Structure 1
Amino acid sequence: MNATAAPDRASAAGAGRRIDLRSDTVTQPTEAMREAMRTALVGDDGLDGDPTVRELEIMGAKAMGKEDALFVASGTMGNLIAALVHASRGGEALVDEHAHVARSEGGGISRLAGLMCTPVRSCDGMMDLDALAASMRDGYSRHGAPTAMVVVETSHNHAGGRALPLSYLEAVGQCARAAGAAVHLDGARIFNAAVAQGVPPAALAAFSDTVTFCLSKGLSAPMGSILAGSRDFVVRARSYRRMVGGGLRQAGCVAAAGVVALRDMVDRLAEDHRRAHALWASLRGQAPALVGDAPDTNIVMVRAPSDAVACAARLASRGILVRPRDADTLRIVTHRHIDDAAIRTAAAGIAHAVETGR
């Protein structure tokens, strides 16, 4: 994979203007992606298939070590479709209390897939394994239906991009299978986690039955995610994709950018991690109380005890865009449009805004 992304119009247009650290979803497609989209070989993916979509699905399945994969519009759609398939067994999904599927996906697992989304206490993105085991139901009882699936997330968004240990993922898999439940991995940023841990993403997905990952974050594609699993799972998932409105037509026009993302953009994620660590180190040097442990990947959490919303507004007025995670924490995300100079400027601005309230 090519570790160096070619210059593109987005980075040139943003020079000398605002520093957008709200999310890696703000990344613009590379020139190689734009050209691939322009020249993509396409078909009707809702009828007899789209060749570029199929190429992307094969690449995605191989990357995750799964038999097959499905191109979907978003990670949220992928997680929902996985829940719809796994819901055929029973009525409950166990998730960590800070999971993206529980906090940020509109309640789709419960409202659309019909699974009760049951939170399990967690720390640093990891469910307490004893609490998880105690929450598992391997059959129907007077209290409810069996556990249909367990959802894990790596890297973990709310935990500051934490890359969950392989030993933890394996333990969750063993616990779920002992109760006959499926494991779904919300791997929106699984490539970040894999790069941080020096392992192939398939090693992280090995303990899950199904996995979703996003193409539109640090990998810089304009849209789309991959949902991977067994061949039988993907057959069923394809039907549910149509049900939720994801049966795209000439989808190769956007899938082509995903092909480039998987081919060229994975190795360079290490640059984003390096810059996130540099930002963290600078803030720790200026005001140690602002940050906790060093980031694993490309997300830095900054304490803003006075008012995170007001602090974000002050920074925005200075051209530094960040997002409040909650009332007293800022969430800062590096990506390929953020260079070393932007990190230096952001570090100084954030430390000043948080400490002085100005």
Structure 2
Amino acid sequence: MVTKTIDLRSDTVTKPNEVMRAAMANAEVDDDVLSFDPTAFRLEAEMARITGKEAALFVPSGTMGNLISVMIHCEVRGSEVILGDNCHIHIFENGGISTIGGVHPRPVKNNKDGTMDIDLIEAAIRNPNFEICYPKTRLICLENTHANTGGKCLSVEYIDEVGVLAKKHGLKLHIDGARIFHASVALGVPVNRLVQAADSVSVCLSKGLGAPVGSVIVGSREFIARARILRKTLGGGMRQVGILCAAALVAVQENVEKLADDHKKAKALAEGLNNIKGLKVDIASVQTNILYFDISEDANITAHKLINQLEEHGVLMMADSSSRIRVVLHYQISAADVQYTLACIEQAVNGTPFKNGH
């Protein structure tokens, strides 16, 4: 009998803990649309401090944070943004930068480490002498960590190099930093240094940090002032938002230190999967809390069949394809959960009867 669900679909599935719930219940609130919510102010000031930027703004989601940022930097409709062909903004945000923002995407191939080659980025910048034919390049977007390549970390040296390139051509640089704290912990580099070259950054609070709702965008005071107006236009202006910001403050203050353990659990899971015949993980590629594992053709089980069998025993995952599965660790997954997961996967792949539930 299954007594517990081990949810490895994403780090967005964490539930607010008792400390967060208490903070939410006791939060001092006011109308944030009128710029009077004191708890929102506290969170925004803290995030601005951590990222080394002048100001910050709480938004309902990372998708909205990215959309607002792109639209501000590309305020003239028909402008162009250079971004990775496998990045979250391009793949998973409903094409919002185009359909809502009127911004044209210029995809550049993402490498296996989440980077884009510097020379390819520069080659993608439109020649200003041909504006009669081309959209005007105004922005470069990076993603750190890079989710679709397995949570890879972009180094501070790489980000600085892209920043130099952007300034050389008079462009802005936005970082989708949904998991920037993961990158900071894995690289041993402070968040403010990692994003120093960026004009704006979106930071998700409801992924690895474990808050129930929300993201923050950071940048200059002028950028955030414009972002506040655009947030309202897009329907993201909320009233007593301090209830949510209180939980986010707990997440920032208490859960960052837990990320290193999430990375260790991901590595342990990856090593265990590699010991199961028919499964393969590139161990060196597991840098943070995300991993992918492949199922060989002779394993006699598909990703979807494996997921269905695991679900019957309380383990939840997501298929990336018929032979590939994505797994995301978070602080509410224990070392014992990892071992139980490995035992269930091994039994499913080998076709042996499952033991009693977790």
Q: Is the TM value for this pair above 0.5? A: yes
Matched-pair contact (CA < 8 Å) for 2:37–2:241? yes
Query: Could you say what the CA RMSD is over the residues aligned between the two structures, in angstroms?
Result: 1.8
Unaligned segments of structure 2, at least 5 residues: 354-358
1:302 has 2:293 as partner: yes
Note if contact 1:304-1:354 (Cα within 8 Å) is conserved in structure 2. Answer: no
Matches within 5 A, 1:111-122: 111-122=99-110
Following superposition, the deviation at residue 305 of structure 1 comes to: 4.7
> Does 115-124 or 66-75 show the bigger shift?
115-124
Within the candidate set 74, 77, 86, 2:61 is matched to 74
Equivalent residues in 2 for 1:230-249, closer than 5 Å: 230-249=220-239
Q: Which residue of 2 aligns with 1:31?
A: 18
**Quick check: 1:250 aligned with 2:240?**
yes
Using the alignment, how far apart are the partners of 1:164 and 1:106 within structure 2?
24
Q: 1:190 to 1:286 in 2, by over 3 A?
A: same
Q: 1:326: how far off? A: 3.1
TM-score by length of 1: 0.91
Select 2:341's aligned residue among 341, 346, 350: 346
| CA-CA distance at 1:177 after TM superposition | 1.8
Using a 3 Å threshold, how does the CA distance of structure 1 residues 59 and 123 change in structure 2: closer, same or farther? same
Question: Matches of residues 287-298 of structure 1 in structure 2 within 5 Å?
Answer: 287=277, 289-294=279-284, 295-298=286-289
> Is the Cα–Cα contact under 8 Å of residues 80 and 106 in structure 2 kept in the other structure?
yes
1:328 aligns with 2:354: no
Cross-structure match for 1:10: none
Residue 125 of structure 2 aligns with an amino acid whose one-letter code is M
Residue 168 (structure 2) aligns with: 178
Amino acid at match of 1:296: Q
Pair 1:337-2:332 in alignment = yes
Q: Aligned match of 2:261 in 266, 271, 292?
A: 271
One-letter amino acid of the counterpart of residue 132, structure 1:
I
State the alpha-carbon separation in 2 of the partners of residues 353 and 226 from structure 1: 41
The alpha carbon displacement at 1:356 in A equals 5.5
Specify whether residues 350 and 164 from structure 1 end up closer, same or farther in structure 2 by C-alpha distance, changes over 3 A only. farther
Distance 1:235 1:321, change over 3 A: same
Report the CA distance between 1:167 and its aligned residue: 1.7
- The alignment status of 1:108 with 2:96, answered yes or no, reads yes
**Which residue matches 2:356?**
none
Q: Which letter does structure 1 place at the counterpart of 2:66?
A: N
Q: How many residues of Structure 1 are paired with residues of Structure 2 in the alignment?
A: 344
In the other structure, the counterpart of 1:196 is: 186
- What CA distance in whole angstroms lies between the structure 1 residues aligned with 2:66 and 2:295? 32
Which deviations, in whole Å up to 9, do the C-alpha atoms of 1:107-126 show, x marking residues without a partner? 11111111111210121211
Is 2:23–2:247's contact at 8 Å kept on the other side of the alignment? yes
Matched residue type, 2:166: A
Could you give the per-residue CA deviations for residues 150-201 of structure 1, whole angstroms, max 9, x where no partner exists? 1100111101111112221112112222221111100001101101111111
Aligned residue runs from structure 1 range 58-137, under 5 A: 58-88=45-75, 91-124=79-112, 125-137=114-126
Alignment partner, residue 133 of structure 2: 143
Gaps of 5+ in 1: 1-14
Q: Which amino acid in the other structure matches residue 67 of structure 2?
A: L
Instruction: Call closer, same or farther: CA 1:138–1:206 in 2, change over 3 Å.
Output: farther
User: Are the equivalent residues in 2 in contact too, given 1:215–1:261 (CA < 8 A)?
Assistant: yes
How far apart, CA to CA, are the structure 1 residues paired with 2:345 and 2:117? 34
Q: Does 1:220 align with 2:207?
A: no
1:156-167 map, 5 Å: 156-167=146-157
Is residue 262–residue 289 contact of structure 2 (8 Å, CA) maintained in 1? yes
Q: 1:54 to 1:138 in 2, by over 3 A?
A: farther
1:305-330, CA deviations, whole angstroms, 9 ceiling, x for partnerless residues? 55323332222122211011234321
Q: Classify 1:354/1:95 alpha carbon distance in 2 versus 1 (closer, same or farther; 3 Å).
A: farther
- Are 1:286 and 2:276 counterparts? yes
CA contact (8 A) 2:74 2:103 kept: yes
Q: Which moved more, 1:165-174 or 1:104-113?
A: 165-174
CA contact (8 A) 2:82 2:107 kept: yes
Structure 1's 300 and 341: CA in aligned 2 closer, same or farther, altered over 3 A? same
How far did 1:357 drift? 11
